Amino acid sequence: MKVVLAADSALDLDDFLYEKYKIQLMPVTITFGEESYQDTIDITSNDIYERVKQGADIPKTAATNIVEYYEFFKQFENDNVIFLSMGSGFTSAYQNAVIASKEFENIHVIDTKNLSNGMGLLAIMVGEAIQSGQSIDETVLLIEDLIPKVRVTLMVDTLEYVAKGGRVSALTKVSAEALKIHPSITIVDNELKIGRLFRGRRDKAA
């Protein structure tokens, strides 16, 4: 049986990397009010930013349910699958994927304990391992060893979207902009933490 790499669509990679490693994506559901979309299928990140810029509220995501994961896993009945899930600390998607995978002997669900670029880095490492001919067991051991070593830190250029999402007050947003404060955010061990605060121009803060 060949080894297939699959993942929740929350990982952020360029299209050529999806193609290079033949990553199969389970679309995350994104909702704007009463309208629902499938990430990477009928909506993109650029679409989301554009709608918010035009005045739409910050969209919400819905954790993929057990039935949706079951239907997704069914297509790989003849393959060994390593499925990279969003961190269990951020969503119930991981638990749902695990429950669905119990109906199959060939699905290996991995809690990446991360999101976005952290998941993407792990996907690249798994993709390289698969292409080098490593077995499913060797690849699973590799990814489990790498997960605790992944730390992603980003600097927020603006608190506009954070404020729209209700995570900070409008007063905090205005104050941060007036003082040119750029908070850093770190994702590590299934948690999102606010790190240092940087002041000044964005390039200087970086």
Lowest mean pLDDT across 34-38, 133-137, 199-203: 199-203
Residues 96-136 pLDDT 10s: 999 999 999 999 999 999 998 999 999 999 999 999 999 99
Closest CA to 116 of 187, 58, 50: 187
Q: Model's pTM, two decimal places?
A: 0.86
Sign of CA dihedral 128, 137, 4, 12: negative
| Band of residue 167 on the pLDDT scale cut at 50, 70, 90 | low
pLDDT of 158 > 80? The answer is: no
For 54-90, write each residue's pLDDT tens digit. 877 778 888 899 999 999 999 999 999 999 999 999 8
